Chain A
Amino acid sequence: MIDFEEELRKFQPSPEVDEADEAIYKRDLRDVNDIIEELLRQRKKRRREERR
């Protein structure tokens, strides 16, 4: 049996068109490459600190 109120809660207001430009800049555009690169950078940094 469908619960109307529960179903209604699943709907979210749609973002409006004039908000699109602003949202593009805020969007997280990192991909797997960026994440791996970041991890590698942190690892190198840690090693350098350990050597010191």
Chain B
Amino acid sequence: MKCCYCGATLGEGDHCPSCGKNIYICRKTQQISNHLYNEALQLADQRRLSEAAEKLALALRYYKSNTKARNLQGLICFELGEIYQALSAWNISLSLDRVDNPARDYLERLRRSAQQIEVLDQTVRKFNQALAYCRQGDYDLAEIQLKNILENFPHFVQALRLQALLEMRESRYDRAMKLLEEANRTDRSDQDVGRLMAECRTHLTKDGRVKERDLPKEKKKQAGSRRPFSERAVLGPLMNLVFGLIIGAAVMGFLVIPAVRTNTSQNVSRTLRDTSEALTAKNQQIKSLQSQNENLQQQVKEQKAAAKQAQSESSDTASANRTLLQAYDAYADKNYDEAGRLLDSIDKSSLDQDTQKIYRKLKKEMKSHRTLQNQNTAGSSTESNRTESNGGTP
């Protein structure tokens, strides 16, 4: 036992050996707190976790530094799915006593596995979301969320209780009972769970089925349409078989066989009709393809003729160009007669625009040259005539 004021270990007297204060009340409160802790421990052993949690809360009211009580409180809260309270209890315990405190181990084990903390955090968030869905009236969404929670954390008593409540709302008391039993296995002293279980029992038969009056409407219909097995067995399966055979044969003779025959002939005629239609369509297709082919051949011929013409035109142009060049060459060599002859032989229409310019220029020069030559010739003949008339002297 420790002094509440200075934390020193206490002896037998009523005063603290370290600080000298009166520790009568301190001793008494610690004794009560320890007693309550022991009771809580027994209750926890019997899985009466809610009652144990209440005792521990009281124990801590008497003596706040009872770290054993705090650690047990944390464990119980963790088991019930109240992660936040568990972490709080262990953290406070560790802050009060840092030496040989199991709370350190609990917290370290949780913190080492960051994934586990994440899962726990998600579970709490999902539960809150499910509760919000319930309050909004989205019960289907709430059920989905609660199923997710219970997959990860099957001992989450609050989630089990809420899921059971939703099942009870739909009159599925058998399912609700299973969930409540699971919650009860975790915490046998939860009064709310006990009350809901008692309510479920009033709607269930001894073998755990929902009483017919409490069945949902659809299920009632299904249940009503079924006869008990014993009755069905007595009805005479042989008679059923014979009747069945007779009816079967009659149906075959009067309905099925004629129908099959008619069906077969109809099928054959339908196939013939389809085939002839397909043949006609194919013929039409062939005809159209033939006409297309002819058109294309005609086009090919036309293209060939055009190409030939273009080729001859281009060869004419080339030969005209070549002759023009030869004429120019002869002109440059002052072989004017040859140049004139070559120019005359050129078909002007075969030349393109640029070469036509050159042609015209050359022609013009040739013309002026010829004129000059003619003038010269005329001049020289007049001179010779004058010489002849003057007796041979110029």
Contact = CB atoms under 8 A, between A and B. Distances in A.
B7 to A, nearest CB: 13
Given A10-B192, A16-B84, A32-B29, 11 more contacts: A2-B165, A2-B196, A7-B196, A8-B134, A14-B84, A14-B158, A15-B124, A17-B83, A19-B84, A20-B87, A33-B25
B245 interface: no
Interface residues of B, number: 40
Interface string B70-87: 000000000001111101
A30 interface: yes
Given A16-B124, A20-B87, A27-B88, A32 B61 contact: yes
A14 B158 CA distance: 9
B92 A27 contact: yes
Contacts of A11: 131, 134, 158, 161-162
Interface string A1-34: 1101001101101111111110110010111111
Contacts of A36: 25
Contacts of A16: 84, 121, 124-125, 128
B120 interface: yes
Given A31-B61, A36-B25, A2 B87 contact: no
A17 B165 contact: no
B65 to A, nearest CB: 8
Given A8-B165, A17-B117, A17-B121, A31 B29 contact: yes
B360 interface: no
B62 A31 contact: yes
Interface in B117-133: 117, 120-121, 124-125, 127-128, 131-132
Give the interface size class of chain A: 20 to 34
Interface string B94-125: 00000000000000000000000100110011
B202 to A, nearest CB: 9
A33 B3 CA distance: 11
B359 interface: no
Nearest to B192: A10
Nearest to B135: A8
Nearest to B63: A31
Interface of A: 1-2, 4, 7-8, 10-11, 13-21, 23-24, 27, 29-34, 36
B165 to A, nearest CB: 5
Contacts of B196: 2, 7
B64 A30 contact: yes
A10 to B, nearest CB: 7
Interface centre among A16, A21, A29, A34 (most CB of B within 10 A): A16
Contact of B84 (A7, A10, A17, A32): A17
Contact of A2 (B29, B61, B91, B199): B199
B244 to A, nearest CB: 49
Contacts of A14: 81-84, 124, 127-128, 158
Given A8-B135, A11-B162, A31-B62, A20 B169 contact: no
B4 interface: yes
B60 A31 contact: yes
A24 B92 contact: yes
B215 interface: no
A20 B52 CA distance: 22
B169 A13 contact: no
A32 B30 CA distance: 10
B91 A15 contact: no
Nearest to A2: B199
A32 B121 CA distance: 34
9 tightest CB-CB pairs across the interface, nearest first?
Answer: A31-B64, A15-B84, A20-B87, A13-B128, A17-B121, A33-B4, A2-B199, A14-B124, A32-B29
Contacts of B161: 11
Interface in B184-219: 192, 195-196, 199
Contacts of B168: 2, 4
Contacts of A1: 199
B362 interface: no
